[in-house]
Structure 1
Amino acid sequence: MIALALSVLSSTWIFVVFKLYDVYKIQTLVAIIVNYITACLVGLTLYKGTLNVGEILGSSWIWGPVFMGMLFITVFNLMAKTSQVAGVSVASVATKMSLVIPVLLGVFLYKERLSFIEVTGIILALTAVYLVSAKGKGIHVDRKHLILPVLVFLGSGIIDASIKYFEEVHLSDQEIPIFSSMIFGFAALSGLIFIGIKSDKAQMKLNLKNILGGVALGIPNYFSIYFLIRALRSDLLSSAAVFTINNVAIVMLSTLVGILLFKEKLSAKNWTGVAIAVLSIILVALF
């Protein structure tokens, strides 16, 4: 439970850092690449084994970080595009609703059993995500833009499901730091390739402000994955419970942080979502 709580806190800090990017006018794409490099270096620092490049590249799990690294930068750009054309709320709901994918994977692939109360908690969790994220009259997506949140939903869910798969099948405790590190390393490489191909390189500014912004994001980003894998290895909760609590707690805590630090206003619908989120966590965690 401690590992899960630390994963939630790390992910919530990511939300705070992203908010501060607007305040300090940090160039997001540059900071994102620095963030991935930082997260990779943190993992390499924490790894207690011998760093043997040939051994790492020959490991049974190496294709996972390669795949997830490319998926990380792809989903990030899809989330950015979704936020622009459909709104931040739509992107947030699509990302957090994706917990359905690893939950179903746990049930059908790993034969995890969910009680009626747990299923009720998961349904309440999805409801809470919608209500907390809904702004104004609710969440609406034009039909022509529907593919974007669908791709964010699938991409985010596949990332979580992949983390569960490699934790279950391939990783030893000692390999968790280096595995997490390699995910971010390949994400950084994918990001650099993306900048080289698609972006206007003349506008990219590798200044101290952008570097510090990336470092501030990279440290919690690494630990959000590291502690999530640790939580999945615990026998206290099923993977369905871990992903449900993780996603809903992040939404709930990020919302509360937004109120306290950034003076954000919540509607009655949003507060109802927070209350339902608390109830869903209690049901999933205790039963």
Structure 2
Amino acid sequence: MIYLILSVFISSSLFVIFKLFDKYQVNTFQAIVINYITAFCCGFFFYGNGITLTEMIERPWNIGAIILGGLFISVFILMALTAQRNGLSVASVAGKMSVVIPVIFAVIVYKEHLSTLKIAGILLALLAVYLTTVKNDGGTFDRKKLLYPMLLFLGSGVIDTAIKYIETNYVAKGETPIFSAGIFGCAFLAGIIILFLRRDFKITGKTILGGILLGIPNFYSIVFLLKALRPEHIGDSSTVYPINNVAIVMLSTIFGIILFKEKLIVKNWIGIAIAIISIVMIAISAQPVNA
């Protein structure tokens, strides 16, 4: 459970860093690209155990890392487009409610059992995500603008599902950090291509610093999540992903209140309360019956 707690805390801190990007006028996309090379370096130099780039390319998870790297950049762009066209609340809801995709996949492919308590907890988690992020405008979807939210929903769900599948079937024990580095390295290459296509070459020192400060926690957020998904820890996708997603939304909201004096409506507070209840229910359902 400690790895899941660390992943939630670090992932929530990423939203704080993004918020600071706005305050200090950091070029967000450039910082994202720098963040990816920083995260790659964290894994390659600190956890590579002497592995070379050639050896990384020969790993059985290499193709999966390439696909995930492209998905990371694509989902980031979709998140930005959804926030611009539909609002930040819709982007957050679409991204976090995608938890249903890896849960369904886990039940079908890994034959994970969904107890009545866990099903109720997952449904409450979805409700909590919505209520925590909805604003005074109602936060509802415009049916004419469903394309980007739907693509974001699918993309986020595919990433979570693919990470678990590749990590389970192709990543050897002890290689989780270097696998994470591989994903970030591929995401960096995809980001560089996009920067060249956009001819976005002007970069500032604060953007570089912002990218570095984002990349270090971003690396560990993925590493800890993957460790939590390991069979010797929690392992159960239908437990890890719902708790992870709803806890991130809840903690990010709390950070917003404390650090940035953000105002919440009654629905948001109800959402936080439901989030806590859902996390407890899912956690209890994950415990062995005869423990």
Name the TM-score class by shorter chain: over 0.9
Residues in 1 aligned to 2:235 and 2:281: alpha-carbon distance in whole angstroms:
12
After TM superposition, the score normalised by the length of structure 1 is 0.96
Report deviation, 1:216: 1.0
Q: Secondary structure at the match of 1:59?
A: coil
List, as ranges, runs of 4+ consecutive aligned residues in structure 1 with deviation greater than 2 Å.
52-55, 140-144, 234-237
Residue 170 (structure 1) aligned with residue 141 (structure 2): no
Residue number in structure 1 paired with 2:240: 242
Kindly indicate whether residue 214 of structure 2 is the aligned counterpart of residue 217 of structure 1: yes
Task: Tell me, yes or no, if the aligned pair for 2:40 and 2:181 is still in contact at 8 Å.
Answer: yes
Cα distance in 2 for partners of 1:257, 1:195 equals 31
Residues 209-246 of structure 1 deviation map (CA, whole Å, 9 limit, x = unaligned): 00110011111111111000000004445211100100
The alignment status of 1:85 with 2:85, answered yes or no, reads: yes
SS at match of 2:114: coil
Deviations 1:172-227 (A, max 9, x none): 22211110001010101000101111x243xx432210011001111111111100
Contact 1:47 1:174 in 2 (8 A): no
Any stretches of 5+ residues in structure 2 without a counterpart? Answer: 286-291
* Aligned-pair CA distance for 1:29: 1.1
CA deviations on 1:144-185 (whole Å, 9 max, x unpaired) are 320100000110111100110012111122211110001010
Instruction: Look up the equivalent residue of 1:161 and give its one-letter code.
Output: T
How does 1:26-45 map onto structure 2 within 5 Å?
26-45=26-45
Alignment of 1:159 with 2:156, yes or no, is no
Letter in 2 for 1:264: E
The equivalent residue for 2:131 is: 131
Distance in structure 2 (CA, Å) of the matches to 1:79 and 1:240: 24
Deviates more, 1:49-58 or 1:273-282: 49-58
1:1-287 counterparts in 2 under 5 A?
Answer: 1-197=1-197, 199-201=198-200, 204-233=201-230, 234-236=232-234, 238-287=236-285
Q: Describe the shift of the 1:81–1:96 C-alpha distance in structure 2 as closer, same or farther (beyond 3 A).
A: same
Task: Give SS of 1:246's match.
Answer: helix
State the TM-score, normalizing by the size of structure 2: 0.95
Distance 1:21 1:269 in 2: 28
Contact 1:82 1:91 in 2 (8 A): yes
Residue 56 of structure 1 deviates from its aligned partner by 1.8
- What is the alpha-carbon root mean square deviation over aligned residues? 1.1
Identity of aligned residues (%): 52
Task: Give, in angstroms, the shift of residue 141 of structure 1.
Answer: 2.6
8 A Cα contact 1:86 1:140, kept in partner: no
Q: Matched residues in 1 for 2:2 and 2:30: separation?
A: 32
Letter in 2 for 1:57: I
Which amino acid in 2 is paired with 1:240? S
User: Partner letter of residue 210 of structure 1?
Assistant: T
User: Between Structure 1 and Structure 2, how many residues are aligned?
Assistant: 284
Contact 2:48–2:178 (CA under 8 A) maintained in structure 1 = no
Q: 1:268 corresponds to which letter in structure 2?
A: V
- Structure 1 unmatched runs, 5+: none
Distance 2:225 2:214 in 1: 17
